[in-house]
Amino acid sequence: MRASSESETRILPPWKHRLKKRFHSLLLLRRIWMKSKKVIIVINLVEESVEKANEEIEKEILQELSTDLPVIPWLGSVEKVTVIEE
């Protein structure tokens, strides 16, 4: 191995320079694409919900939210909405 001097600079061939620029652009795009947002919603259920099992209510809510026009069954009021980024 030879020691590098301060005056010696590393010059990349044009094709390597272009490849390096594209690689960095792809990494930046990947970071942009990988970002996602999620929402956490805390709701109060209606009084009648105490008569149903929690698992049954969870199943109903999940089924309804998976439809084309989602509705939250048993919704009494919305207490808090938080958006997070990942």
Q: Decide which of 20 and 82 is more confident.
A: 82
Sorted by where each begins, the domain ranges of the chain are 37-85
Which helix (H) or strand (E) segment is 37 a member of? strand 37-45
Phi and psi torsions of 17, nearest 5°: -65, -45
| Amino acid, single-letter form, for residue 76 | G
Reply yes or no on whether the pLDDT at 30 is more than 70. no
Per-residue pLDDT of 32-81, as tens digits, reads 666 788 899 999 999 999 999 999 999 999 999 998 888 999 999 999 99
Residue 85: per-residue pLDDT:
85
Residue 82 contacts residue 43 (beta carbons within 8 Å): no
Q: Is residue 3 pLDDT above 60, yes or no?
A: no
pTM passes above 0.75: no
